[in-house]
């Protein structure tokens, strides 16, 4: 059945938490303190399937369970297949590890010159500044080091990372990630941004964060002032399904945009969540309405216990094909596979090109119609409006120009 959404509605309100004061609800520290993190708490609010109960029991050994009250409200409690529920409620399937799946599937640890810093590309680094998130995505790429469920002993200590960046003039772009950098206090974040801004060769600073989606209350006016002060700071948020585009997320994006933060979105292609052209189209349209430009659509990394989320790459290509030409160009993310073992992100595109040789390129458009663009020119004739008898205008010497002639 085609995905249907009410385009005029933006979810808002306190849902199951009507008894909480509006000021508590809007307070991001209240949201964090009242996260759902145990089986007992979860079962107070919803009826779990047996698969989910077993998944929750295992979560403590793999990747902690944590859901903010705000995000929990987006779950359809009557639907075990709810796309929001699948992203944050653990399932038994997480316990089964396929042979090709790895804890460090992108080989980040091997490209890490100092703890917490990944230097894979020539001119930019990934700087992991915390091991905590507001809520945990069950398909997390860095479950080995976030939430502290695996005794990985990652203690983000960024002085070493800052010194590495300071002493590597080739690093012009720093991507703050983690964990979620926006879980740091304003004071810590300001310290980090001011140190990075002070490095002459760092031209581009960006933050990868799912906080606007899990905890939009964290996007306070004070935080926005910090972004203004040290801007331009770019941000990639992480929205996977149109239901995540609430009034509160929309307003948080507006605060960020008005503070001069250009916004992009990174989605992960997930089975039963967004592996559908209609869902993806609804999502990218919502994003544009919130001033967010779809940036990447990721093929899921080969993380341990992630098989139940895996989508055939041909499905991903079909989704991109369903967008290109059929909707606004700005709405179309680049579909990428992050190379297993560590080769970086590689674009995966539907094939529009049919052939190319010295004479011509032959391609198809979004409707499948065939076109040809010649690469050589021949048989020139004079343009009907051109006349050859007008004398060419005199060209003045540089000296004439200087004299004002």
Ligand X SMILES: *Cc1c(COP(=O)(O)O)cnc(C)c1O
**Residue 66 near ligand X by CB under 6 A:** no
What is the nearest approach in angstroms of ligand X to the Cβ of residue 294? Answer: 13
- Give the residue from 240, 242, 243, 237 showing the smallest Cα distance to 256: 237
Residue whose C-alpha is closest to residue 286's, from 331, 235, 327 = 331
Is 27 catalytic? The answer is no
Establish whether 370 is a catalytic residue. Answer: no
Q: What whole-number distance in Å separates Cα of residue 195 and Cα of residue 198?
A: 5
Which of 35, 62, 85, 120 is catalytic? The answer is 120
Judged by CB, which is closer to ligand X: 15, or 262?
262
Catalytic residue of the set 82, 138, 301, 335: 301
Q: Which of 269, 313, 306 minimizes the C-alpha distance to 102?
A: 306
* Shortest distance, position 161 Cβ to ligand X, whole Å: 13
126 contacts ligand X (rule: CB under 6 A)? yes
Considering only residues 341 to 380 of the shown chain, the ones binding ligand X according to CB under 6 A are 345
| Residue 265, CB-side half-sphere exposure with 13 Å CA sphere | 32
Out of 10, 11, 30, 121, the only residue in the binding site for ligand X (CB under 6 A) is 121
345 is catalytic: yes
If the CB atoms of residues 321 and 345 are measured against ligand X, the closer one turns out to be 345
Q: In this complex, which beta carbon is closest to ligand X, that of residue 105 or of residue 304? A: 105
Distance in angstroms (rounded) separating the CA atoms of residues 378 and 169: 49
Of 35, 85, 91, 120, the one binding ligand X (CB under 6 A) is 120
- Residue 324 in 3-state DSSP? strand
142 a catalytic residue:
yes
Residues 6 or more apart whose CB falls under 8 angstroms from that of 361 comprise 353, 355, 372, 373, 375
Is residue 360 helix, strand or coil? strand
Active-site residue flag, 124: yes
Name the residue nearer to ligand X (CB basis): 175 or 287: 175
Strands 124-128 and 370-374: unpaired
Nearest CB to ligand X, comparing residues 264 and 350: 264
Q: Please count the residues of this chain forming the interface with ligand X, following the rule CB under 6 A.
A: 7
Q: How far, rounded to the nearest angstrom, does the alpha carbon of residue 42 sit from its chain's CA centroid?
A: 27
As a whole number of angstroms, the distance between CA 287 and CA 281 comes to 10
- Piece in contact with ligand X (CB under 6 A), picked from 54-62, 117-125, 220-228, 377-385: 117-125
Q: Considering only 114-122, 145-153, 218-226, 358-366, which stretch makes contact with ligand X by CB under 6 A?
A: 114-122
Residue-wise over 22-44: b if at least 16 C-beta within 10 A, else e?
Answer: eebbbbbebbbebbbbebeebee
Binding mask 148-177 for ligand X (x = CB under 6 A): ---------------------------x--
3-class state of residue 61 by DSSP: helix
Q: Which stretch binds ligand X (CB under 6 A): 42-50, 116-124, 145-153, 387-395?
A: 116-124
Residues that bind ligand X (CB under 6 A): 118, 120-121, 124, 126, 175, 345
Active-site positions? 120-121, 124, 133, 137, 140, 142, 301, 338, 345
């Amino acid at each position: 059945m085609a995905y249907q959404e009410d385009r005029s509605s933006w979810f808002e309100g306190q849902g199951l938490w009507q008894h909480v004061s509006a000021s508590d609800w809007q307070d991001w520290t209240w949201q964090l303190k009242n996260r759902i993190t145990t089986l007992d708490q979860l079962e107070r609010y919803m009826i779990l399937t047996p698969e989910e109960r077993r998944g929750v029991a295992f979560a403590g050994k793999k990747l902690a369970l944590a859901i903010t009250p705000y995000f929990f409200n987006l779950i359809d409690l009557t639907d075990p297949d709810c796309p929001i529920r699948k992203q944050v409620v653990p399932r038994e399937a997480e316990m089964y590890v396929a042979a090709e799946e790895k804890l460090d599937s992108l080989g980040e640890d091997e490209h890490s010159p100092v703890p917490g810093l990944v230097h894979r590309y020539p001119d930019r680094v990934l700087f992991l500044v915390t091991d905590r998130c507001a809520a945990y995505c069950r398909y997390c790429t860095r479950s080995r080091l976030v939430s502290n469920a695996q005794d990985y002993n990652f203690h983000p200590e960024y002085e070493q990372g800052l010194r590495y960046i300071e002493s590597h003039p080739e690093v012009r772009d720093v991507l703050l990630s983690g964990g979620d950098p926006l879980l740091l206090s304003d004071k810590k974040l300001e310290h980090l941004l001011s140190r990075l801004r002070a490095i002459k060769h760092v031209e581009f600073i960006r933050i990868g964060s799912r906080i606007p989606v899990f905890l939009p209350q964290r996007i306070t006016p004070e935080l926005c002032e910090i972004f203004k002060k040290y801007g331009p700071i770019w941000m990639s948020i992480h929205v996977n399904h149109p239901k995540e585009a609430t009034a509160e997320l929309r307003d948080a994006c507006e605060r960020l945009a008005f503070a001069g933060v250009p916004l992009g979105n990174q989605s992960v292609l997930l089975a039963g969540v967004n592996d559908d052209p209609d869902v993806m189209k609804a999502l990218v349209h919502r994003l544009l309405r919130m001033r967010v430009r779809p940036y990447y659509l990721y093929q899921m990394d080969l993380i341990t216990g992630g098989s139940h989320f895996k989508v055939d790459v041909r499905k991903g290509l079909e989704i991109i094909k369903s967008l290109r030409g059929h909707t606004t160009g700005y709405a179309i993310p680049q579909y990428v596979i992050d190379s297993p073992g560590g080769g970086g992100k590689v674009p995966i595109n539907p094939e529009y090109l049919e052939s190319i040789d010295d004479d011509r390129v032959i391609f198809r458009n979004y409707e499948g119609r065939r076109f040809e663009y010649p690469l050589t020119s021949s048989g020139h004739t004079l343009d009907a409006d051109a006349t050859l008898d007008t004398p060419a205008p005199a060209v003045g010497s540089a000296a004439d120009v200087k004299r004002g002639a």
